[in-house]
Amino acid sequence: MSAARGALRRRPQLSEEVAAAIRHRIMTGDFRPGDFIRMDETAAELGVSVTPVREALLTLRGEGMVNLAPHRGYVVADLSPTDVEDIFWLQSQIAVKIALRTADAITPADLDALTACTDRLRRAVDAGDVDEIVDAEFDFHRTHNRISSSGKLAWFLLNATHYTPHRLYAADPEWGAVAVDSHTRLVEAYRTGDRPAIAEQVQRQFDDGAQRLTKRLADAGIWEGDAPR
């Protein structure tokens, strides 16, 4: 949430950025089920007016992330371990489908591009640069997903990953090591045409992400009610 705590740039999609900031806080347990999200406080924290916060909360209500309590405002909806499992299951199903199509279309130039993306991610992880890790990881997957020419599937996957707290992972050196290793193995599997290994490495990334987020939320006590509010 560190980037979101600063003043957000004023652009036409500002309400989307506010929604992303609030969504991140919900998905990391910073905002807990049952917590009220105060529009004035949130606007002041993010350095924006109340209007984009209101629009963001309407978006999140449509996603089932928050509920509207009459005369009281917006409250964070329940988030169960099954919800987390389902989010990553959906992402993995789409991602594996794209990866297997990529296996049929990938060229030596594509392999070189993915290797360069992996090298960029490795350097960012070694440096502990969270912003660069987020950008490098996004660049890898954007480059990868374009190879398959599965535009609609890639769009669905991008929207599904809105629920992934990318900065939480980027700040975790263990996650970074897994990501770099998995990307390296995935590129090698493409080089050798090993389709089971391709599916395995893609699935590995989502399984790892689900486990880390589930642990984070469990440690935060949102399913036990034992952490301070």
The tens digit of pLDDT for each residue in 106-125 reads: 999 999 999 999 999 999 99
Q: Is 226 a member of any domain?
A: no
Q: Are residues 173 and 207 in the same domain?
A: yes
Q: Is 142 a member of any domain?
A: yes
pLDDT tens-digit profile of 144-198? 999 999 999 999 999 999 899 999 999 999 999 999 999 999 999 999 999 999 9
CATH number at residue 155: 1.20.120.530
Q: Are residues 70 and 86 in the same domain?
A: no
* pLDDT of amino acid 227: 42
Q: Are residues 111 and 201 in the same domain?
A: yes
Residue found under tokens 């652009």: 11
Domain span at 26: 2-76
- pTM for this entry: 0.85
pLDDT tens-digit profile of 1-56? 444 444 444 454 889 999 999 999 999 999 999 999 999 999 999 999 999 999 99
Residue found under tokens 């329940």: 78
Number of domains in the chain: 2
Q: Are residues 140 and 203 in the same domain?
A: yes
Mean pLDDT (the chain, rounded): 91
The CB density around residue 53, as the number of other CB atoms within 10 Å, is: 27
Last residue within a domain, chosen from 32, 58, 76: 76
Measure CA of the first residue to CA of the last residue in the chain; give whole Å: 17
